[in-house]
Structure 1
Amino acid sequence: MYLGLDLGTSGVKALLMDADQKIIGSGHGSLDVSRPHHGWSEQDPAEWIRAAEEAVAELRSAHPTELAAVRGIGLSGQMHGATLLDAAGKVLRPCILWNDTRSFAEAASLDADPRFRKITGNIVFPGFTAPKLAWVQANEPDIFAKVAKVLLPKDYLRLWLSGEYISEMSDAAGTSWLDVAVRRWSPELLAATGLSTDHMPSLVEGTDQAGTLRGELASKWGMGQGVVISGGAGDNAASACGMGTVKPGAAFVSLGTSGVLFAANGAYLPNPESAVHTFCHALPQAWHQMGVILSATDSLNWLSTISGKDAAELTRELGDELRAPSGVTFLPYLSGERTPHNDAVIRGSFTGLAHEIDRAGLTQAVLEGVAFAFRDSLEALASAGTTLTRVTAIGGGSRSRYWLKAIATALSVPVDIPADGDFGAAFGAARLGLIAAEGADPHQVCTPPDTAETIEPVGALAGAYDEAYQRYRKLYAAIRGTM
């Protein structure tokens, strides 16, 4: 048996699978986000452990015999978080999360240093880890002086599980401290933020062994001794392992809290000017590119909250047939945007509202706005040298066929829907646990699921969608000047 632990923003998922990659069961522990000030987003790392304990306890209650047979554990997690520890391993302050934008000034300052884009292949985004440490140094100097280790969220779970300070390439690539081409920490970039390699965990590949489960936890969960923990992956790379998006040209579109257009690459292809992320993949000698939008299903959830109707009910009101854009445009910049704008300050908007626009019209505009944000990412990927011919849809938003039709039409590529199953980050993490424990071939393990259905672009609406996208593109510049 193999266990995948996925530390998300809203909870920890524990997924158990057997040697044939059949899912045995899963457990969950909920998490909340603290927002003490505008633009801040934090979590207490102790809550991650509590949620992980709850998730594993739920699994053990339902499947004690199977959990006892676990040989490998894989980890996945939300990326970019700054978890700061002192010399005794004590947490110094709440973790600053991926969607925290307080360090936008520090990010701009680091990004102005040409070494960062040259070495990392990426813009220094406010959500990345390095500018957060620069913010702590400037605003909480007493805490910064005590920092002995900086860990990413999933690697704090690893410390609890194994007692080891270890990270891996896909997650480390999102810190702005990794030399992404050669897959090692950059002493030069660390020094630019007042740190050294001594502050960093050691690095392995996602498929490598990276510690073993502490005997205390193994006994508590009814497992044997020597359970292997894999390097694991950042959440998007883990989802790619779960989806089998590991060979060059494979791609997925993720409709989660944030949105990701992810493409696997067999070579390092940086183009930071496009605001595309170029990161190491979880598999050795593999990389990936992705466009990232910060509010995907979050945009629909926002409309759900203010309308008093749940998201599924809102999308059902649209029916099954894709509608032509109405002239109402929604910009989904509720918490800023990454690709292609790298703008932490920009905020969302509706334009083109009229008396006849009802709730369904607003929902339609929100779904189209997110689809056009993915089109922005597609254009950015193209400018970085990556052409996509089809994508596979994952994430909670992919349950809406209407939304997938809008995305297929906006991108002008077919969207594949995988056969029923859980192919997300926790499944990808479990696959990495299997690979590390058994020394298995990653490409034989990380295969894609069968396709249950393909959503084709609606050709009759291609022109209308392109016209609406051009209107969408012009609005960013128009509202940017008002912020």
Structure 2
Amino acid sequence: MYLGIDLGTSGLRALMTDAAGRPVASAEAQYCVQTPHPGWSEQDPGDWITALDRAMDQLRDTPGYGQICGIAVAGHMHGAVLLDGADQVLRPCILWNDTRSAAEAAELDATAQVRDLSGNIVFPGFTAPKLLWVQRHEPEIFANTAKVLLPAAYLNLHLTGRHVADMSDSAGTSWLDVGARDWSEPLLRAGRMRRDQMPDLVEGCEPGGTLRPELAARWGFGKDVTVAGGAGDNAAAACGTGVMAPGQGFVSLGTSGVVLTARDGFHPDPATAVHTFCHAIPERWYQMGVMLSATDCLNWLGRITGRSPADLTAGLGDQLRPPGEVTFLPYLSGERTPHNSASLRGGFQGLSVATTPEDMARAVMEGVCYGLRDCLAALRSTGAELDSCLVIGGGSRSPYWVKLLATVLDLPLHLPQGGEFGAALGAARLARLAVTGEDPAEVLTAPQIARTVTPDAALRDGFDAAYATFRQRVSDMI
């Protein structure tokens, strides 16, 4: 048995799989995000430990639970957990969607060699600028920082007692030489950090340590449970969906939006604001375009109207409609690809006294799709080829939204058959590889496809024109 842990922004999910990789049972536990100031986003790492304990308690009575022999963690990327010399947390973790360090990110991004070595723009959400912000605004905490761990690496520390992180997660720090897959001395110096403050690096499918005896005893496991290196959340999702080779990819309609494709080598193009990261298996990389607010835009509209997203969109049905008269710019938290702007903000245009909440919901869905089209265009500009994609994430449960997205992207979208195929499954697969040493190609396979949604040819031109209008309105803002 294997255990995949998906450490998400709003909750933790634990998935048990059997020796053949089939899901057996899962459990979830939620926690909160703190926003003490506008643009800040923080979390108490202790909440992750509590959530893990709660999830393990839920799984305890599952047949085969005591035979778990491998564990891996997939975590939300870029977060900064600062530890003192005794591994005590010095301050709340600064999360991926925190934009306080925009000035520090711009400074690092303009530093010689940073883009060349990291393969990426230094975005405000990345880890390195967070530490520069701490140095300037919380100097005592910075002076006492002995280690900086990403969220998944902090759970690895809890599980193994070791400071260890995988390549895919570490690629989002701006401290890693992404092509060489090692910490970079020039990047560390630029970020005022040292190699001894970094965790040890392993590949995501390699052993990263052994479960601590006290945890093994408390959870009822054997003595030699392997903990794999794990992965960043999107790399783990790629492992769960079998996105390993060029031409394979997925679109994620989640809290944030992602268009991701595997690459056959290291092909960075920072100017596009495309993310170029190590994959969770050796000698592989992937690229993705990222928008910071996707389904979160519809959640936001639900909060301010007092209606659930499902209620707001219920009247749309399954039949795709032409573009609406209202345009929505989906930049509630700034944007990464392709604009790299922490200050960019969202808004509606074209509102009238006749506009209804349903009209606004439809505009939100269209705006998110236009943002994802921006991401796809940026990916293609780097040489990536995508002729079709899987579609995953909470938004993929809306038939209307998937049909809209396929038409805006002009790309067939494959809906996986019901079941597990995301980050938790990807983590469980990495745990299996770390234990068995199997060929990743035999384990990291694609899911069965339930159905394929094709673009609506009759409405393609209309959405192309609406996308051009969207692009012009964004250009007028920047």
The normalised TM-score by structure 1 is: 0.98
Q: Deviations over 1:130-157 (max 9, x none)?
A: 0000000111111100111010001100
Aligned: 1:54 with 2:54: yes
**Separation (CA, whole Å) in 2 of partners of 1:385 and 1:137:** 38
Q: Which amino acid letter does the alignment assign opposite residue 333 of structure 1?
A: Y
**Separation (CA, whole Å) in 2 of partners of 1:98 and 1:5:** 18
* Matching of residues 44-443 of structure 1 within 5 Å: 44-60=44-60, 62-63=61-62, 65-443=63-441
Aligned: 1:458 with 2:456: yes
Which secondary structure state, in structure 2, belongs to the residue aligned with residue 404 of structure 1?
helix
| More displaced stretch, 470-479 vs 212-221 | 470-479
Which secondary structure state, in structure 2, belongs to the residue aligned with residue 4 of structure 1?
strand
- Name the structure 1 match of 2:13: 13
Q: Which amino acid letter does the alignment assign opposite residue 449 of structure 2?
A: T
**Separation (CA, whole Å) in 2 of partners of 1:274 and 1:333:** 18
Aligned: 1:42 with 2:42: yes
Q: Which amino acid letter does the alignment assign opposite residue 4 of structure 2?
A: G
The alpha carbon displacement at 1:408 in A equals 0.5
Identity %: 55
Q: Deviations over 1:196-246 (max 9, x none)?
A: 111100101011000010111111111101100111100000000001111
Q: Which amino acid letter does the alignment assign opposite residue 205 of structure 1?
A: E
Which secondary structure state, in structure 2, belongs to the residue aligned with residue 40 of structure 1?
coil
Which secondary structure state, in structure 2, belongs to the residue aligned with residue 6 of structure 1?
strand
Q: Deviations over 1:387-441 (max 9, x none)?
A: 2100101111100011011110111010000011111111100000000011111
- Contact 2:67/2:222 (<8 A) preserved: yes
**Separation (CA, whole Å) in 2 of partners of 1:199 and 1:95:** 16
**Separation (CA, whole Å) in 1 of partners of 2:327 and 2:115:** 33
Aligned: 1:478 with 2:476: yes
**Separation (CA, whole Å) in 2 of partners of 1:306 and 1:21:** 42
The alpha carbon displacement at 1:323 in A equals 0.7
Q: Which amino acid letter does the alignment assign opposite residue 234 of structure 1?
A: G
- Name the structure 2 match of 1:24: 24
Which secondary structure state, in structure 2, belongs to the residue aligned with residue 229 of structure 1?
strand
- Contact 1:68/1:223 (<8 A) preserved: yes
**Separation (CA, whole Å) in 1 of partners of 2:476 and 2:133:** 30
Give the gaps of 5 or more residues in structure 1.
none
- Contact 1:327/1:468 (<8 A) preserved: no
- Contact 1:43/1:94 (<8 A) preserved: yes
- Contact 2:175/2:188 (<8 A) preserved: yes
**Separation (CA, whole Å) in 1 of partners of 2:37 and 2:306:** 26
**Separation (CA, whole Å) in 1 of partners of 2:456 and 2:328:** 21
| Matched length | 478
Q: Which amino acid letter does the alignment assign opposite residue 350 of structure 1?
A: F
Which secondary structure state, in structure 2, belongs to the residue aligned with residue 114 of structure 1?
coil
**Separation (CA, whole Å) in 2 of partners of 1:418 and 1:75:** 23
- Contact 1:245/1:251 (<8 A) preserved: yes
The alpha carbon displacement at 1:318 in A equals 0.8
Q: Which amino acid letter does the alignment assign opposite residue 375 of structure 1?
A: R
Q: Deviations over 1:235-275 (max 9, x none)?
A: 00000000111122100001111111010111111000000
**Separation (CA, whole Å) in 2 of partners of 1:285 and 1:310:** 44
Which secondary structure state, in structure 1, belongs to the residue aligned with residue 46 of structure 2?
helix
**Separation (CA, whole Å) in 1 of partners of 2:177 and 2:7:** 25
**Separation (CA, whole Å) in 1 of partners of 2:162 and 2:96:** 23
**Separation (CA, whole Å) in 2 of partners of 1:362 and 1:38:** 24
Give the gaps of 5 or more residues in structure 2.
none
The alpha carbon displacement at 1:356 in A equals 2.8
Which secondary structure state, in structure 1, belongs to the residue aligned with residue 321 of structure 2?
coil
- Contact 1:390/1:414 (<8 A) preserved: yes
Q: Which amino acid letter does the alignment assign opposite residue 359 of structure 1?
A: P
- Contact 2:246/2:385 (<8 A) preserved: no
Q: Which amino acid letter does the alignment assign opposite residue 388 of structure 1?
A: L
**Separation (CA, whole Å) in 1 of partners of 2:423 and 2:340:** 25
Q: Which amino acid letter does the alignment assign opposite residue 423 of structure 1?
A: F
**Separation (CA, whole Å) in 1 of partners of 2:224 and 2:53:** 19
**Separation (CA, whole Å) in 2 of partners of 1:250 and 1:309:** 37
The alpha carbon displacement at 1:328 in A equals 1.1
**Separation (CA, whole Å) in 2 of partners of 1:380 and 1:283:** 24
Q: Which amino acid letter does the alignment assign opposite residue 397 of structure 2?
A: R
- Contact 2:82/2:89 (<8 A) preserved: yes
Q: Which amino acid letter does the alignment assign opposite residue 53 of structure 2?
A: E
Cα RMSD after superposing both structures: 0.8
- Contact 2:322/2:462 (<8 A) preserved: yes
**Separation (CA, whole Å) in 2 of partners of 1:99 and 1:333:** 12
- Contact 1:67/1:221 (<8 A) preserved: no
**Separation (CA, whole Å) in 2 of partners of 1:193 and 1:381:** 28
**Separation (CA, whole Å) in 2 of partners of 1:163 and 1:53:** 17
| More displaced stretch, 33-42 vs 355-364 | 355-364
- Contact 2:247/2:386 (<8 A) preserved: yes
4+ runs deviating over 6 angstroms = none
**Separation (CA, whole Å) in 2 of partners of 1:25 and 1:338:** 36
The alpha carbon displacement at 1:31 in A equals 1.1
**Separation (CA, whole Å) in 2 of partners of 1:303 and 1:33:** 19
The alpha carbon displacement at 1:312 in A equals 1.7
